[in-house]
Structure 1
């Protein structure tokens, strides 16, 4: 059994398969899951697990070269925006663009978060 890092076997296996520039989306429970994109659903009740908790756990185990959040989060969910920017410096795109880019994701991780715009695209980096 893994002692540290991501212990969810589905997420750990998926992250191990990522290559440079592959996209990972972490989303709230309302984010549409595009047809054909694998989804690991961690939600078990409204709000749990939270977006920020899952983001922090993923960032401990995932080499990220870029991150993008919806610019609408600034007005729609400033608390989650602040918590996100404290964990990773994210650029801004429109919410519609985020949903469109999620169609290219290698994986979407669905959280139980039930607040607006609590979604992020992480672009995989390299460790060397």
Structure 2
């Protein structure tokens, strides 16, 4: 049995296959998932698992160098935006790296998800609780 925080086999495998600059998206329950992109649906019911729990777990396993979010999150879901920033700050401190934060409009964000290696769908119901994680390198 795998020892570690991330025990979802599909997510673990998707991360293992990622190279530098590959993208993984974590989304709320409502984000449209483009055809042709692997969907890893972990949603069980409203709020389970949360977007934040999923993000915290994935960033423990994936080295990130950039995040991409919809700029609408600042105004529509400011509490979620602040939670994302806290997680990124803790990643930066723990790994002694700087993570670039890129904000785009929601329509552009949805278009960018077509380039993701996979999209992890959560049970989150908070508007704009979506993020693209761009893979970094571990050396």
TM-score when scaled to structure 2? 0.89
Q: Which residue matches 1:9?
A: 9
Which runs of 5 or more structure 2 residues have no equivalent in the other structure?
A: 89-98
Q: Distance in 1 between matches of 2:10 and 2:35?
A: 19
Q: Distance in 2 between matches of 1:71 and 1:105?
A: 19
1:68 Cα deviation (Å)?
1.0
Q: Which residue matches 2:130?
A: 119
Which runs of 5 or more structure 1 residues have no equivalent in the other structure?
A: none
Cα displacement string for residues 95-127 of structure 1 (whole angstroms, at most 9, x for unaligned residues): 111100001111100000011000001101111
Q: Give 1 or 2: higher helix fraction.
A: 2
Q: Distance in 1 between matches of 2:130 and 2:45?
A: 18
Structure-to-structure mapping, 1:48-127, within 5 angstroms: 48-88=48-88, 90-127=101-138
Cα RMSD (Å) of the superposition?
Answer: 0.9
Q: Distance in 1 between matches of 2:73 and 2:54?
A: 18
Segments ≥4 residues shifted beyond 6 Å: none
SS of equivalent to 1:47? coil
State the number of aligned residues: 128
SS of equivalent to 1:48? coil
Q: Which residue matches 1:35?
A: 35
